[in-house]
Structure 1
Amino acid sequence: MHLSRTGFLNRLRLIAVALGVAIIAVAQPAEAGRYASIVIDAENGSVLHAANPDTRSYPASLTKVMTLFLLFDELDSGRIRLDSKFTTSAHAAAQSPSKLGLEPGEKISVESLILALVTKSANDAAVVAAEGVGGTETRFAHMMTQKAHALGMRNTVYRNASGLPDTGQVSTVRDQATLARALIRSHPGYYKYFSTRQFVYDGQPINTHNRLMLRYQGADGIKTGYIHASGFNLISSAKRGDKRIIGVVFGGSTASSRDNHMGQLLDKGFAKLRRGGGVEMAAAETETEGNDDLPDLDDLEAAAQAAKAPAKAPAKAVAKAKPAPAKKVVLRAPARAADDDDDDDDAVGDADPSGWAIQVGAFSEYRPAHKAASDAAKKLGGLVSKASIDIDKAGKGAKALYRARISGFTEDQARAACKRLGKAGKSCKTVNPNA
């Protein structure tokens, strides 16, 4: 009996249900929140850990690693220099946050673009870089895909330079590990930019989004990413002694749980290299926060073994490995009037959508804004133990406005913080990341 392709796939799905085995169409992106991870030895590329390594999903702002790779290629070729200036187009300026706030016609150096990409993950900077090298972002995306395939990234297609949502832009954790390894080997001198903790642009200090790098022993890069369709993604690289490993995670439910999980994976990778035998868990050098929303590492390995076993293998092991779905977040383009000095939508493409903030004032200069936020943080005491001062700049020149904010709260914490400041006679309003 002849079956159409659709009929054949439907029959396979019915068989899979009966056997308790999940079938994934590898030619399509994974479902929202799909978990995947890999850890490799940077020296020889050998795989130290893998879970769903070839399942396609959306790379989000990990895309910018390839954008930077091509930019580094141009620098090495001598076609551009770090002090070369690119001009911001209207298309680049119109990108959604996270962004520097570049205006049409504004010129920016290549080095500033690099720093903006590795720290703030600025989408406008990504497009400026793309247009400066490729003429148009579309042509540059084609160059990115060509480079990916030349590097052996068989399951990767790029459609833009930033990682902002595009259903045609897909990759895998294996491909992203391949990319990170190639970048470190091909551009060791420029890789150092990924360890940048802060840089100053137009008078505004900009801190890195890569918080795991700040606290994991030996970590020196490389990139975070988020869109709702992918969950929280991360490429990390760490070096201890003469050993370097690279880890990639797709599909974290929150930024912090993703970071903690990556810490576990890196520990496990170093343990395998050190002992030369089976992978064992080392003491995690991460925060003590729980990691219940990502699958247990031992369960993932059990699921992988079950998938390779005969059909009679119990379905329980596979089911146990499914991560909790990512929190639902509505993505939308920022909408604000020309005179709107209130809240911008939080970043897409990199930032944690669950991170509420409070605003304690808006000022015409950076220093008084930072002082106001610092004073508020002191009054809040323990309520800001995991929050951080975040001065948000809007506008340029004489029209610039610095919003004194403290970010990193849950909604309840943000409301409690404003309540406490209100009782002290201080101005405060909550900033909803999804409003």
Structure 2
Amino acid sequence: MPLLRHITGLVGRALMLMTILVLAPHTAHARDDRYASIVVDADNGNVLYAVNPDRRSYPASLTKVMTLYLLFDALEQGKLTLNSRMPVSAHATRQSPSKLNLKVGDRIDVEDAVLSLVTKSANDVAVVVAEAIGGSEDDFAEMMTRKARQLGMNSTTYRNASGLPDMGQISTPRDQATLARALVRHHGRYYHYFSTRQFNWQGQPISTHNRLMLRYQGADGIKTGYINASGFNLIASAKRDGKRIVGVVFGGNTAGWRDNNMAQILDKGFARLGRGAEMRSAAIEEEDRADLDKLIASAASEPTNKGSNTARASFKAPAADQDVGDADPDSWGIQVGAFGDYKTSHKAASTAAKKLGALVSVATVDVAKAKSGKQVVYRSRLTGFTEDQARAACKRLTKAKQACKVVQPTA
């Protein structure tokens, strides 16, 4: 009888486990399907943390790191200078946002191009760079793939300079970490551009999409990325006590979840670096599977928005999903006014941010251009909140007699 009860208990637990797996939230499954990450010692490439580091997916705007790598190559070779002015083609202007909205026949100097790529992740500028160096974007993409092979990125293929959707454009977290290490090693004199928090374009301040860099101790770059098919990607580099590590996350379900995950695995990387890093990724994957399960469980409990498309791995995404660039389409915002010019609108949002203090540590100033009848208006907003954060921010501003309204993700 004791043996029978034992067997019955095992069967019962197995059935319970099967039930849990069947009823598990779809969001958790989707995150696990796409999630992959790695943290490496930037000096020697030793792996400090890894989960699915060789899982192939779409790099999205992480692509622009290679675009910039080749631009820095051209600068080192004397083919261009930071003051060189690059022409804008019709093909460049046809790119989906995020972009600078350049016009055919315009010219942009190399330094402004670099700054627009590392902050706004401007897709039109990526094409301008590609055509200036490669003659055409297709030829430049071939150059990108050749450079990837030279650097040992054997699982990476590039098809365009921006990271906009293309099913043939594939990479892995391990390859992107290799690229980041090579960029710091070979183009250290230009790496500082990736720590840019804001730059001015024709009188308009443009803030970085890389919010993790603004809050993680020691972080100094480098690039965010998002398309519907990839989820939210990030390459991050941080330096503490003279030691640099590089982390890569693919497949975050929101920008906030991705950033929090990156902070956690960078912390783990620094901790392991202190103990020595003779470990290899296969062993680390098994060791960290429990950590990933915890992260997925916490992510599943985050507020979500009905109708969100971020969990679908398909290039048949609505234009709105593709057009957000590196921003989070699921983030909430607040609007503090609408004005007739950009500068006034930006100032109003910045003033509101100062009043909110720590509440805006996760938010970004965002001036949204829109039409009200025949009149152009500039909506003064802060974006990047969860719903609760947005409502708390508006409540605080209202108490301070500041106009404010909550802006939903679909607004």
TM-score above 0.5: yes
Structure with the larger helix share? 2
Task: Return the structure number with greater relative CO, CA threshold 8 A, min gap 6.
Answer: 2
SS in 2 for 1:124: helix
Confirm or deny that 1:329 pairs with 2:309. Answer: yes
Partner of 2:16: none
Q: CA deviation at 1:432?
A: 4.6
Q: CA deviation at 1:78?
A: 0.4
Query: 1:197-276 maps to which residues of 2 (within 5 A)?
Result: 197-276=197-276
- The question of whether the paired residues in 2 share the 8 Å contact of 1:303 and 1:321 is answered with no
Note the residue ranges of structure 1 that are not aligned, 5 or more in a row. 1-29, 280-297, 305-316, 335-344
Distance 2:50 2:181 in 1: 16
Note the residue ranges of structure 2 that are not aligned, 5 or more in a row. 1-29, 311-316
Partner of 1:163: 163
SS in 2 for 1:43: coil
Confirm or deny that 1:61 pairs with 2:61. Answer: yes
After superposition, the Cα gap between the structure-2 partners of 1:236 and 1:260, relative to the gap in structure 1 and judged at 3 Å, is same
- The question of whether the paired residues in 1 share the 8 Å contact of 2:49 and 2:284 is answered with no
Per-residue CA shift, 1:209-252, capped at 9, x if unaligned?
Answer: 11111222221111111112111111111112231111111111
Q: What's the RMSD between the two structures over aligned residues?
A: 3.4
Q: CA deviation at 1:72?
A: 0.4
Query: 1:137-176 maps to which residues of 2 (within 5 A)?
Result: 137-176=137-176
Confirm or deny that 1:356 pairs with 2:332. Answer: yes
After superposition, the Cα gap between the structure-2 partners of 1:386 and 1:63, relative to the gap in structure 1 and judged at 3 Å, is closer
After superposition, the Cα gap between the structure-2 partners of 1:402 and 1:105, relative to the gap in structure 1 and judged at 3 Å, is farther
* Equivalent pairs, count: 363
Query: 1:260-339 maps to which residues of 2 (within 5 A)?
Result: 260-276=260-276, 301-302=286-287, 320=293, 323=296, 328-329=308-309, 331-333=317-319
Distance 2:255 2:348 in 1: 27
After superposition, the Cα gap between the structure-2 partners of 1:409 and 1:42, relative to the gap in structure 1 and judged at 3 Å, is closer
Confirm or deny that 1:367 pairs with 2:346. Answer: no
Match of 1:408 among 372, 378, 384: 384
Per-residue CA shift, 1:58-111, capped at 9, x if unaligned?
Answer: 111111000000000011110111111112222212222221222222211110
Q: CA deviation at 1:195?
A: 0.9
Query: 1:387-426 maps to which residues of 2 (within 5 A)?
Result: 387-392=363-368, 402-411=378-387
SS in 1 for 2:335: strand
One-letter amino acid of the counterpart of residue 343, structure 2: R
Partner of 1:93: 93
Q: CA deviation at 1:379?
A: 7.9
SS in 2 for 1:407: strand
Identity value in percent: 65
After superposition, the Cα gap between the structure-2 partners of 1:369 and 1:154, relative to the gap in structure 1 and judged at 3 Å, is same
Per-residue CA shift, 1:106-146, capped at 9, x if unaligned?
Answer: 21111001001111111111111111111211111111111
Distance 1:318 1:217 in 2: 22
SS in 2 for 1:169: coil
